[in-house]
Amino acid sequence: MKKSYLKWFFVVGMGAFLGACSDDDNNTTPTPEPGNGTQSRYVVASAPIGSQGVADYLLTTSDLSQGTISTVGQGIEQDGSYRYYLTHKGKFFSLLYGQGNPGAVTTYALDEKGALVKTSDFQSETVQVFAPAGDDILTIKVPRSGNESASWFRINADQSKIVGEGQTNIVKLAGNGERAHFTWATQVGDKVFAPYMCIKGAAPDVFGTAYPDSSWIAVFNYPAMTLEKVIKDNRTSYIGAYFNNGLAVDENGDVYGFSPAAATNSGTLTSTKPSAFVRIKKGTTEFDQSYFFNVQEKSGGYKIANQTYLGSGKFLLYMYGDQGKASGAKKLAIADAYNQTFTWVTGVPDVIASSSASYNNNTISDDKKSVFVGINTEAGSWVYTVDIATATAKQGLKVEGGAITAIVKVK
Protein backbone atom coordinates (compact mmCIF):
# COMPACT_ATOMS: atom_id res chain seq x y z
CA MET A 1 0.00 0.00 0.00
CA LYS A 2 1.28 3.45 -0.84
CA LYS A 3 1.43 5.58 2.26
CA SER A 4 -0.19 8.52 0.47
CA TYR A 5 -3.52 6.70 0.49
CA LEU A 6 -3.53 6.57 4.29
CA LYS A 7 -2.23 10.02 5.13
CA TRP A 8 -5.65 11.31 6.17
CA PHE A 9 -6.38 8.34 8.37
CA PHE A 10 -3.15 8.47 10.26
CA VAL A 11 -0.74 11.38 10.19
CA VAL A 12 -1.52 13.90 7.47
CA GLY A 13 0.75 16.88 7.76
CA MET A 14 3.10 15.26 10.26
CA GLY A 15 6.02 17.28 8.93
CA ALA A 16 4.49 20.49 10.22
CA PHE A 17 3.16 18.78 13.32
CA LEU A 18 6.47 17.25 14.37
CA GLY A 19 8.24 20.56 14.23
CA ALA A 20 5.82 22.05 16.72
CA CYS A 21 5.52 19.21 19.26
CA SER A 22 7.23 19.46 22.61
CA ASP A 23 9.57 16.76 23.88
CA ASP A 24 8.77 17.65 27.48
CA ASP A 25 8.51 14.38 29.40
CA ASN A 26 7.24 15.79 32.69
CA ASN A 27 3.70 14.60 32.02
CA THR A 28 2.89 10.93 32.29
CA THR A 29 -0.17 8.82 31.77
CA PRO A 30 -2.24 8.60 34.96
CA THR A 31 -2.44 5.24 36.66
CA PRO A 32 -5.68 3.56 35.49
CA GLU A 33 -8.50 3.92 37.96
CA PRO A 34 -10.23 0.79 39.24
CA GLY A 35 -13.25 0.04 37.07
CA ASN A 36 -16.69 -1.03 38.16
CA GLY A 37 -17.38 -3.07 35.02
CA THR A 38 -19.83 -0.56 33.55
CA GLN A 39 -17.88 2.65 32.98
CA SER A 40 -16.44 3.11 29.54
CA ARG A 41 -12.73 3.52 29.06
CA TYR A 42 -11.09 4.96 26.01
CA VAL A 43 -8.04 3.74 24.14
CA VAL A 44 -6.17 6.62 22.51
CA ALA A 45 -3.70 5.59 19.81
CA SER A 46 -0.90 8.06 19.21
CA ALA A 47 1.74 7.86 16.47
CA PRO A 48 5.02 8.66 18.24
CA ILE A 49 7.57 11.21 17.19
CA GLY A 50 10.80 9.97 15.63
CA SER A 51 10.29 6.26 16.35
CA GLN A 52 11.07 3.75 13.62
CA GLY A 53 9.00 0.59 13.34
CA VAL A 54 6.38 1.80 15.82
CA ALA A 55 2.90 2.47 14.46
CA ASP A 56 1.32 3.79 17.65
CA TYR A 57 1.36 3.74 21.41
CA LEU A 58 -1.93 2.75 23.06
CA LEU A 59 -2.88 4.90 26.03
CA THR A 60 -5.98 4.42 28.19
CA THR A 61 -8.13 6.91 30.06
CA SER A 62 -11.65 7.27 31.42
CA ASP A 63 -11.82 11.03 30.84
CA LEU A 64 -11.36 12.64 27.44
CA SER A 65 -12.58 16.07 28.50
CA GLN A 66 -9.52 17.29 30.39
CA GLY A 67 -5.95 16.61 31.48
CA THR A 68 -2.82 15.45 29.69
CA ILE A 69 -1.43 12.08 28.70
CA SER A 70 1.88 11.33 27.01
CA THR A 71 3.53 8.61 24.96
CA VAL A 72 6.85 9.29 26.72
CA GLY A 73 7.58 6.18 28.74
CA GLN A 74 3.91 5.22 28.62
CA GLY A 75 1.50 3.10 26.63
CA ILE A 76 1.63 -0.21 24.80
CA GLU A 77 3.83 -0.17 21.72
CA GLN A 78 2.27 -1.27 18.42
CA ASP A 79 4.83 -2.34 15.87
CA GLY A 80 4.67 -1.84 12.11
CA SER A 81 3.85 1.16 9.96
CA TYR A 82 0.05 1.16 10.22
CA ARG A 83 -2.40 -0.29 12.72
CA TYR A 84 -6.20 -0.38 12.73
CA TYR A 85 -8.39 -0.81 15.79
CA LEU A 86 -11.89 -1.94 16.68
CA THR A 87 -13.82 -3.43 19.58
CA HIS A 88 -16.18 -6.39 19.56
CA LYS A 89 -17.67 -8.48 22.36
CA GLY A 90 -15.76 -6.60 25.04
CA LYS A 91 -12.35 -7.02 23.41
CA PHE A 92 -10.01 -4.56 21.73
CA PHE A 93 -8.39 -5.67 18.47
CA SER A 94 -5.24 -4.21 16.90
CA LEU A 95 -4.67 -5.22 13.27
CA LEU A 96 -1.33 -4.71 11.58
CA TYR A 97 -1.33 -3.69 7.93
CA GLY A 98 1.56 -5.72 6.56
CA GLN A 99 1.68 -3.95 3.17
CA GLY A 100 1.20 -7.20 1.26
CA ASN A 101 2.72 -9.44 3.93
CA PRO A 102 0.77 -11.23 6.69
CA GLY A 103 -0.06 -8.99 9.63
CA ALA A 104 -0.52 -9.57 13.33
CA VAL A 105 -3.99 -9.53 14.92
CA THR A 106 -3.47 -8.67 18.57
CA THR A 107 -6.34 -9.01 21.06
CA TYR A 108 -6.58 -7.12 24.35
CA ALA A 109 -9.01 -7.15 27.26
CA LEU A 110 -9.43 -4.72 30.15
CA ASP A 111 -8.24 -5.85 33.57
CA GLU A 112 -9.89 -4.91 36.86
CA LYS A 113 -7.98 -1.62 36.88
CA GLY A 114 -9.12 -0.70 33.38
CA ALA A 115 -5.73 -1.31 31.74
CA LEU A 116 -5.23 -3.20 28.48
CA VAL A 117 -3.89 -6.74 28.82
CA LYS A 118 -2.87 -8.77 25.76
CA THR A 119 -4.80 -12.04 25.50
CA SER A 120 -3.93 -13.28 22.01
CA ASP A 121 -1.62 -12.62 19.08
CA PHE A 122 -1.77 -14.42 15.73
CA GLN A 123 -1.05 -13.86 12.04
CA SER A 124 -3.63 -13.14 9.36
CA GLU A 125 -3.64 -11.76 5.84
CA THR A 126 -3.23 -8.02 5.41
CA VAL A 127 -6.73 -6.65 4.80
CA GLN A 128 -8.39 -3.42 3.67
CA VAL A 129 -11.83 -4.12 5.20
CA PHE A 130 -12.60 -5.06 8.81
CA ALA A 131 -15.93 -4.94 10.63
CA PRO A 132 -17.88 -6.71 13.39
CA ALA A 133 -20.38 -9.28 12.10
CA GLY A 134 -22.23 -11.71 14.33
CA ASP A 135 -19.70 -13.23 16.72
CA ASP A 136 -16.89 -12.47 14.29
CA ILE A 137 -14.70 -9.80 12.84
CA LEU A 138 -15.15 -10.00 9.10
CA THR A 139 -12.05 -9.00 7.15
CA ILE A 140 -11.54 -8.74 3.39
CA LYS A 141 -8.30 -8.59 1.42
CA VAL A 142 -9.02 -6.66 -1.78
CA PRO A 143 -6.41 -6.79 -4.58
CA ARG A 144 -6.21 -3.64 -6.65
CA SER A 145 -4.57 -5.44 -9.61
CA GLY A 146 -3.46 -8.90 -10.68
CA ASN A 147 -5.41 -11.46 -8.64
CA GLU A 148 -9.10 -11.28 -9.61
CA SER A 149 -10.44 -12.61 -6.29
CA ALA A 150 -10.94 -10.85 -2.97
CA SER A 151 -10.38 -13.10 0.04
CA TRP A 152 -12.60 -12.87 3.12
CA PHE A 153 -11.94 -14.21 6.61
CA ARG A 154 -14.13 -14.68 9.67
CA ILE A 155 -12.17 -14.14 12.89
CA ASN A 156 -14.16 -15.35 15.90
CA ALA A 157 -14.00 -12.60 18.51
CA ASP A 158 -14.18 -15.00 21.47
CA GLN A 159 -11.62 -17.47 20.17
CA SER A 160 -9.38 -14.93 18.41
CA LYS A 161 -8.83 -17.25 15.48
CA ILE A 162 -9.97 -17.64 11.87
CA VAL A 163 -13.07 -19.86 11.73
CA GLY A 164 -14.04 -19.41 8.07
CA GLU A 165 -12.68 -18.05 4.80
CA GLY A 166 -13.49 -17.85 1.10
CA GLN A 167 -13.13 -15.79 -2.06
CA THR A 168 -15.21 -13.58 -4.34
CA ASN A 169 -14.30 -12.92 -7.99
CA ILE A 170 -14.30 -9.13 -8.15
CA VAL A 171 -13.99 -8.89 -11.93
CA LYS A 172 -17.13 -10.98 -12.41
CA LEU A 173 -18.82 -8.99 -9.65
CA ALA A 174 -18.20 -5.68 -11.44
CA GLY A 175 -19.33 -7.11 -14.76
CA ASN A 176 -18.20 -4.09 -16.76
CA GLY A 177 -14.57 -4.82 -17.60
CA GLU A 178 -13.26 -3.21 -14.41
CA ARG A 179 -12.97 -4.71 -10.93
CA ALA A 180 -15.07 -4.23 -7.80
CA HIS A 181 -12.95 -2.76 -5.02
CA PHE A 182 -14.78 -3.08 -1.69
CA THR A 183 -14.75 0.10 0.36
CA TRP A 184 -16.13 -1.54 3.52
CA ALA A 185 -18.60 -4.10 4.87
CA THR A 186 -21.52 -3.66 7.28
CA GLN A 187 -23.76 -6.25 8.88
CA VAL A 188 -27.43 -5.60 8.10
CA GLY A 189 -29.64 -8.20 9.77
CA ASP A 190 -28.56 -11.63 8.53
CA LYS A 191 -26.71 -10.10 5.57
CA VAL A 192 -23.51 -8.19 4.90
CA PHE A 193 -23.69 -5.12 2.68
CA ALA A 194 -20.36 -4.46 0.96
CA PRO A 195 -20.24 -1.27 -1.15
CA TYR A 196 -17.62 -1.13 -3.82
CA MET A 197 -16.01 1.26 -6.25
CA CYS A 198 -15.25 0.14 -9.77
CA ILE A 199 -11.57 0.58 -10.66
CA LYS A 200 -9.47 -0.15 -13.73
CA GLY A 201 -6.90 -2.02 -11.66
CA ALA A 202 -4.10 -1.44 -14.16
CA ALA A 203 -1.22 1.04 -14.35
CA PRO A 204 -0.92 3.91 -14.83
CA ASP A 205 -4.47 4.58 -13.60
CA VAL A 206 -5.18 1.80 -11.10
CA PHE A 207 -7.94 3.63 -9.18
CA GLY A 208 -9.42 5.38 -12.20
CA THR A 209 -12.80 4.37 -13.58
CA ALA A 210 -14.99 4.81 -16.63
CA TYR A 211 -18.07 4.64 -14.38
CA PRO A 212 -17.93 7.70 -12.11
CA ASP A 213 -21.66 8.22 -11.55
CA SER A 214 -22.91 4.88 -10.23
CA SER A 215 -23.32 3.27 -6.82
CA TRP A 216 -23.07 -0.45 -6.07
CA ILE A 217 -23.55 -2.54 -2.93
CA ALA A 218 -22.88 -6.29 -2.99
CA VAL A 219 -25.28 -8.18 -0.70
CA PHE A 220 -23.93 -11.37 0.91
CA ASN A 221 -25.69 -13.73 3.29
CA TYR A 222 -23.86 -14.30 6.55
CA PRO A 223 -21.93 -16.27 7.67
CA ALA A 224 -21.69 -18.22 4.40
CA MET A 225 -20.77 -15.03 2.49
CA THR A 226 -22.62 -16.22 -0.60
CA LEU A 227 -23.41 -13.37 -3.01
CA GLU A 228 -27.16 -12.75 -3.27
CA LYS A 229 -27.39 -9.65 -5.45
CA VAL A 230 -25.95 -6.22 -6.27
CA ILE A 231 -27.90 -3.07 -5.40
CA LYS A 232 -27.40 -0.35 -8.02
CA ASP A 233 -28.18 3.35 -8.33
CA ASN A 234 -27.17 6.26 -10.57
CA ARG A 235 -28.05 9.35 -8.53
CA THR A 236 -24.59 9.72 -7.02
CA SER A 237 -21.17 8.07 -7.23
CA TYR A 238 -19.80 5.02 -5.38
CA ILE A 239 -20.53 4.58 -1.66
CA GLY A 240 -17.68 5.23 0.79
CA ALA A 241 -14.09 5.26 -0.44
CA TYR A 242 -10.80 3.44 -0.09
CA PHE A 243 -10.47 2.45 3.61
CA ASN A 244 -13.63 4.46 4.23
CA ASN A 245 -16.87 3.12 5.67
CA GLY A 246 -19.75 4.62 3.69
CA LEU A 247 -22.66 2.82 5.40
CA ALA A 248 -24.45 3.14 8.74
CA VAL A 249 -27.46 1.28 10.13
CA ASP A 250 -29.79 3.38 12.27
CA GLU A 251 -31.91 2.31 15.21
CA ASN A 252 -34.85 1.55 12.90
CA GLY A 253 -32.80 -0.87 10.82
CA ASP A 254 -32.62 1.51 7.84
CA VAL A 255 -29.28 1.81 6.04
CA TYR A 256 -27.80 5.18 5.08
CA GLY A 257 -24.89 5.42 2.68
CA PHE A 258 -22.86 8.42 1.57
CA SER A 259 -20.86 9.06 -1.57
CA PRO A 260 -17.92 11.46 -1.67
CA ALA A 261 -18.52 11.86 -5.43
CA ALA A 262 -14.78 11.53 -5.85
CA ALA A 263 -14.34 9.18 -8.83
CA THR A 264 -11.45 10.00 -11.15
CA ASN A 265 -10.16 9.09 -14.59
CA SER A 266 -6.44 9.62 -15.29
CA GLY A 267 -6.20 11.68 -12.12
CA THR A 268 -9.02 14.06 -13.04
CA LEU A 269 -12.19 14.27 -10.95
CA THR A 270 -14.99 12.98 -13.20
CA SER A 271 -18.00 12.56 -10.89
CA THR A 272 -20.80 14.77 -12.13
CA LYS A 273 -23.34 13.80 -9.48
CA PRO A 274 -23.35 15.46 -6.03
CA SER A 275 -21.90 14.14 -2.79
CA ALA A 276 -24.97 12.85 -1.00
CA PHE A 277 -26.66 10.30 1.26
CA VAL A 278 -28.93 7.58 -0.09
CA ARG A 279 -31.07 5.12 1.88
CA ILE A 280 -32.08 1.46 1.91
CA LYS A 281 -35.16 0.77 4.02
CA LYS A 282 -35.17 -2.04 6.57
CA GLY A 283 -35.94 -5.43 5.08
CA THR A 284 -35.30 -4.31 1.49
CA THR A 285 -32.37 -4.67 -0.87
CA GLU A 286 -33.06 -1.71 -3.13
CA PHE A 287 -32.20 1.98 -2.89
CA ASP A 288 -35.14 4.05 -1.67
CA GLN A 289 -35.92 6.28 -4.66
CA SER A 290 -37.95 8.65 -2.46
CA TYR A 291 -34.88 9.62 -0.42
CA PHE A 292 -31.87 11.69 -1.50
CA PHE A 293 -29.95 13.98 0.87
CA ASN A 294 -27.81 16.31 -1.25
CA VAL A 295 -25.13 17.23 1.29
CA GLN A 296 -22.99 19.00 -1.29
CA GLU A 297 -25.83 21.43 -1.93
CA LYS A 298 -26.67 21.91 1.76
CA SER A 299 -23.00 22.55 2.65
CA GLY A 300 -22.47 25.21 0.02
CA GLY A 301 -20.60 23.01 -2.42
CA TYR A 302 -18.42 20.78 -0.23
CA LYS A 303 -18.01 17.00 -0.49
CA ILE A 304 -18.14 14.38 2.27
CA ALA A 305 -14.80 12.74 3.07
CA ASN A 306 -15.99 10.28 5.74
CA GLN A 307 -18.47 9.85 8.58
CA THR A 308 -19.19 8.61 12.09
CA TYR A 309 -22.78 7.64 12.91
CA LEU A 310 -23.97 9.29 16.13
CA GLY A 311 -27.48 7.87 16.54
CA SER A 312 -31.00 9.15 15.87
CA GLY A 313 -30.14 9.84 12.25
CA LYS A 314 -27.26 12.20 13.00
CA PHE A 315 -23.74 11.95 11.60
CA LEU A 316 -20.42 13.57 12.31
CA LEU A 317 -19.12 14.38 8.84
CA TYR A 318 -15.53 14.98 7.85
CA MET A 319 -15.82 17.34 4.87
CA TYR A 320 -13.16 18.01 2.24
CA GLY A 321 -11.93 21.55 2.69
CA ASP A 322 -11.73 22.57 -0.98
CA GLN A 323 -15.10 23.57 -2.39
CA GLY A 324 -16.28 21.20 -5.11
CA LYS A 325 -13.19 19.00 -4.82
CA ALA A 326 -12.17 15.81 -3.02
CA SER A 327 -9.17 17.55 -1.46
CA GLY A 328 -8.21 20.09 1.18
CA ALA A 329 -7.82 20.09 4.97
CA LYS A 330 -10.87 18.50 6.55
CA LYS A 331 -13.66 20.39 8.23
CA LEU A 332 -16.23 18.94 10.67
CA ALA A 333 -20.00 19.14 10.44
CA ILE A 334 -23.10 17.57 11.97
CA ALA A 335 -25.73 16.31 9.53
CA ASP A 336 -29.23 15.08 10.32
CA ALA A 337 -30.17 12.48 7.73
CA TYR A 338 -33.80 12.42 8.85
CA ASN A 339 -34.45 16.15 8.53
CA GLN A 340 -31.75 16.66 5.88
CA THR A 341 -30.04 19.49 7.73
CA PHE A 342 -26.34 20.38 7.77
CA THR A 343 -24.42 22.41 10.38
CA TRP A 344 -20.71 23.24 10.47
CA VAL A 345 -19.02 22.45 13.79
CA THR A 346 -17.67 25.53 15.58
CA GLY A 347 -14.91 25.65 18.18
CA VAL A 348 -12.40 23.46 16.31
CA PRO A 349 -9.09 24.71 14.83
CA ASP A 350 -9.29 26.48 11.49
CA VAL A 351 -6.63 24.16 10.04
CA ILE A 352 -6.74 20.48 11.00
CA ALA A 353 -3.54 18.70 9.98
CA SER A 354 -5.09 15.28 10.66
CA SER A 355 -7.57 13.63 12.99
CA SER A 356 -8.52 10.32 14.53
CA ALA A 357 -9.75 8.14 11.67
CA SER A 358 -13.53 8.03 11.31
CA TYR A 359 -13.62 4.22 11.15
CA ASN A 360 -11.80 4.14 14.51
CA ASN A 361 -14.26 6.53 16.14
CA ASN A 362 -16.89 4.56 18.05
CA THR A 363 -16.41 7.35 20.53
CA ILE A 364 -19.87 8.56 21.41
CA SER A 365 -20.21 9.62 25.03
CA ASP A 366 -22.15 7.31 27.33
CA ASP A 367 -25.06 9.77 27.45
CA LYS A 368 -24.99 9.95 23.61
CA LYS A 369 -24.95 13.73 23.71
CA SER A 370 -21.45 14.25 22.37
CA VAL A 371 -18.75 12.69 20.20
CA PHE A 372 -15.00 12.78 20.74
CA VAL A 373 -12.54 13.55 17.95
CA GLY A 374 -8.75 13.60 18.10
CA ILE A 375 -7.43 16.64 16.26
CA ASN A 376 -3.78 17.25 15.34
CA THR A 377 -2.54 20.72 14.48
CA GLU A 378 0.84 22.44 14.25
CA ALA A 379 0.36 23.48 17.88
CA GLY A 380 -0.23 19.96 19.18
CA SER A 381 -2.84 17.21 19.61
CA TRP A 382 -6.03 17.35 21.63
CA VAL A 383 -9.26 15.44 21.99
CA TYR A 384 -12.22 17.68 21.25
CA THR A 385 -15.71 17.07 22.64
CA VAL A 386 -18.36 17.94 20.04
CA ASP A 387 -21.84 18.62 21.38
CA ILE A 388 -24.15 16.90 18.91
CA ALA A 389 -27.21 19.10 19.48
CA THR A 390 -25.40 22.42 19.06
CA ALA A 391 -22.51 21.36 16.78
CA THR A 392 -20.06 23.14 19.07
CA ALA A 393 -16.68 21.72 20.11
CA LYS A 394 -14.58 22.16 23.24
CA GLN A 395 -10.91 21.34 23.62
CA GLY A 396 -10.25 18.56 26.13
CA LEU A 397 -7.54 15.99 26.80
CA LYS A 398 -4.09 16.87 25.48
CA VAL A 399 -1.97 14.06 24.02
CA GLU A 400 1.77 14.73 24.07
CA GLY A 401 4.54 12.96 22.20
CA GLY A 402 2.60 12.01 19.08
CA ALA A 403 -0.33 12.55 16.74
CA ILE A 404 -3.71 11.03 17.62
CA THR A 405 -4.71 8.35 15.11
CA ALA A 406 -7.62 6.66 16.89
CA ILE A 407 -9.96 6.94 19.86
CA VAL A 408 -11.84 3.74 20.65
CA LYS A 409 -14.33 3.18 23.46
CA VAL A 410 -14.04 -0.12 25.34
CA LYS A 411 -16.42 -1.31 28.05
> pLDDT tens digits, residue range 374-404?
999 999 999 999 999 999 999 999 999 999 9
Domain presence at residue 117: no
Instruction: Give the per-residue pLDDT at 123.
Output: 86
Nearest to 152 by CA among 47, 223, 55, 74: 223
Confidence grade of residue 362 (pLDDT, cut at 50, 70, 90)? low
Instruction: Give the per-residue pLDDT at 260.
Output: 98
Instruction: Give the per-residue pLDDT at 101.
Output: 72
CATH number for 263? 2.130.10.10
pLDDT of 24 above 90: no
Q: How far is CA 288 from CA 195, 284, 310, in A?
A: 16, 9, 22
* φ, ψ at 245 (rounded to 5°): -70, 115
pLDDT of 18 above 70: no
Confidence grade of residue 3 (pLDDT, cut at 50, 70, 90)? very low
Across the chain, mean pLDDT equals: 88
pLDDT of 10 above 50: no
Instruction: Give the per-residue pLDDT at 33.
Output: 43
Instruction: Give the per-residue pLDDT at 80.
Output: 85
Length of the chain: 411
Instruction: Give the per-residue pLDDT at 222.
Output: 96
pLDDT of 61 above 90: yes
Whole-angstrom Cα distance, residue 48 to residue 404? 9
Query: How many separate helices (H) and strands (E) can be counted in the chain?
Result: 3, 31
pTM of the model: 0.88
Q: How far is CA 165 from CA 63, 99, 132, 336, in A?
A: 39, 20, 15, 37
Domain presence at residue 190: yes
Whole-angstrom Cα distance, residue 264 to residue 80? 31
pLDDT of 12 above 70: no
What is the phi-psi region of residue 311: left when phi exceeds 0, alpha when psi lies from -120 to 50, beta otherwise?
left
pLDDT of 1 above 80: no
For 210, the domain range is 127-303
pLDDT in tens, 329-350: 999 999 999 999 999 999 999 8
Q: Are 331 and 321 in contact (CB under 8 A)?
A: yes
Domain presence at residue 110: no
pLDDT in tens, 205-219: 999 999 999 999 999
Instruction: Give the per-residue pLDDT at 17.
Output: 30
Domain presence at residue 167: yes
Domain count for the chain: 1
Torsional sign, CA 217, 221, 222, 227: negative
Mean pLDDT of 72-91: 90
Whole-angstrom Cα distance, residue 269 to residue 262? 6
Count CB atoms within 10 A of the CB of residue 234.
Answer: 11
Instruction: Give the per-residue pLDDT at 351.
Output: 87
Whole-angstrom Cα distance, residue 75 to residue 68? 13
pLDDT of 69 above 70: yes
Confidence grade of residue 59 (pLDDT, cut at 50, 70, 90)? very high
Three-class DSSP category at 86: strand
Confidence grade of residue 242 (pLDDT, cut at 50, 70, 90)? confident
Instruction: Give the per-residue pLDDT at 247.
Output: 97
Angle at 156 between CA 150 and CA 158, to 5 degrees: 160
Domain presence at residue 119: no
Instruction: Give the per-residue pLDDT at 53.
Output: 80
Percent of the chain at pLDDT exceeding 70: 89
Percent of the chain at pLDDT exceeding 90: 75
Instruction: Give the per-residue pLDDT at 34.
Output: 40
* φ, ψ at 173 (rounded to 5°): -60, -45
Instruction: Give the per-residue pLDDT at 19.
Output: 33
Nearest to 230 by CA among 292, 286, 165: 286
**Ranges 17-21, 157-161, 292-296: which has the least confidence:** 17-21
**Ranges 43-52, 163-172, 263-272, 294-303: which has the least confidence:** 43-52
